[in-house]
C-alpha cells in the first residue's frame, strides 16, 4: 500500500492518502480545501487515480476538500450522514467496507466527539492502521461539547471499539498540535490521560468540565462543510 500522511499547517489537520500500487486507485481521508491543489499535484506525480474522498466527521476547524476534489476528479465523496452534506455521494455506516483497489477500509461508527464520527481500519499485509479522526488523538480525544457530542457515547466508542483493536495497531489521528505523527493502541492505553478515568461516570465528569473555547473557525467551518466545502466566494 502506498501511504502518505499530509499536514495542513493552518488547522493542524492530518490528511491521509492511501493507494493500491498496482491498480493506482487512491482514497483521501479528511482532505482540507486549501490544500486540494497540492493533493492533485501529488496524485498526478504518483500516477494515481482518486476514486474516493472521505471525512471522518463534519469538521469545525477547517473546510473540507470533498467538493473541490469531486469537481476535479469525479471521485466518490463519503460522509457520515449524506443527507446533511450537499455533495456527499455516499453515507457511511458501521461495518461498511470501502474498496480501493486491493485495499479495504473497514468503517467503524464511533459517535461521541460528534454524532457523525467514523473511524477506518486497514490491514496492510498484517500491519494494522486506524484512522481515528477526532475520536482518539495522540494523548487525547476530541471534545464533546458541540455538534451533538456526547461523552457517554465517546466513552463507549473508545472502550468498546477502538481500544479492543490489536494493541500494535498504528493510530493516525485527524490532528496533532505538538508535532507528533502517529501512536499505537498500546501506547494510548498506557499514556493517554483521557483513557485514565476508571468509569464512564468519571470520564463524563472530566469531559463536561473541560471548559474549552469554541474553535476559531467553527461558525464558518460547520455550515461550509455541510455545503461540502464549496464557499460562496472562493
Q: What is the DSSP string of 152-169?
A: HHHHHIIIIIITTS-TT-
By CB under 8 A, residue 180 contacts its own copies: yes
Taking CA atoms, 148 is separated from 28, 38, 111, 200, 234, in Å, by 25, 33, 9, 18, 29
Contact, 30 vs 173, CB < 8 A? no
Contact, 124 vs 102, CB < 8 A? no
Q: Which of 148, 160, 164, 181 binds its own copies (CB under 8 A)?
A: 181
By CB under 8 A, residue 68 contacts its own copies: no
State the minimum distance, in angstroms, from the CB of residue 208 to its own copies. Answer: 27
By CB under 8 A, residue 191 contacts its own copies: yes
Hey, is 189 helix, strand or coil? Answer: helix
Q: Which of 1, 24, 40, 46 binds its own copies (CB under 8 A)?
A: 46
Binding mask 123-162 for its own copies (x = CB under 8 A): ----------------------------------------
By CB under 8 A, residue 217 contacts its own copies: no
Contact, 48 vs 16, CB < 8 A? no
State the minimum distance, in angstroms, from the CB of residue 184 to its own copies. Answer: 10
Per-residue burial over 122-135, b if 16 or more Cβ lie within 10 Å, else e, is beeeeebbbbbbbb
By CB under 8 A, residue 34 contacts its own copies: no
Q: Which of 7, 81, 109, 146 binds its own copies (CB under 8 A)?
A: 7
Which residue ranges make up the site for its own copies (CB under 8 A)? 4-9, 35, 38, 42, 45-46, 178-182, 187, 190-191
Amino acid at each position: 500500500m502506498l501511504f502518505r500522511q499530509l499536514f495542513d499547517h493552518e488547522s493542524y489537520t492530518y490528511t491521509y492518502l492511501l493507494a493500491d500500487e498496482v491498480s493506482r486507485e487512491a482514497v483521501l481521508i479528511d482532505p482540507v480545501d486549501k490544500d486540494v491543489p497540492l493533493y492533485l499535484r501529488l496524485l498526478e506525480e504518483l500516477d494515481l487515480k482518486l476514486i474516493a474522498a472521505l471525512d471522518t466527521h463534519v469538521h469545525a476547524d477547517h473546510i473540507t476538500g470533498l467538493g473541490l476534489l469531486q469537481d476535479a476528479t469525479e471521485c466518490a465523496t463519503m460522509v457520515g450522514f449524506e443527507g446533511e452534506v450537499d455533495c456527499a455521494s455516499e453515507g457511511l455506516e458501521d461495518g461498511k467496507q470501502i474498496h480501493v483497489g486491493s485495499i479495504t477500509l473497514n468503517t467503524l461508527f464511533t459517535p461521541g466527539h460528534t454524532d457523525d464520527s467514523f473511524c477506518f481500519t486497514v490491514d496492510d499485509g498484517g500491519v494494522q492502521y486506524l484512522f481515528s479522526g477526532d475520536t482518539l488523538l495522540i494523548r487525547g480525544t476530541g471534545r464533546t461539547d458541540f455538534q451533538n457530542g456526547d461523552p457517554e457515547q465517546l466513552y463507549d466508542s473508545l472502550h468498546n471499539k477502538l481500544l479492543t483493536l490489536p494493541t500494535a495497531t498504528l493510530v493516525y489521528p485527524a490532528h496533532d498540535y505538538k508535532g507528533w505523527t502517529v501512536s499505537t493502541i498500546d501506547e494510548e492505553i498506557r499514556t493517554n490521560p483521557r483513557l485514565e478515568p476508571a468509569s464512564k461516570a468519571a470520564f463524563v465528569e472530566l469531559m463536561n468540565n473541560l471548559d474549552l473555547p469554541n474553535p476559531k473557525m467553527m461558525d464558518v467551518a460547520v455550515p461550509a462543510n455541510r455545503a461540502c466545502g464549496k464557499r460562496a466566494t472562493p
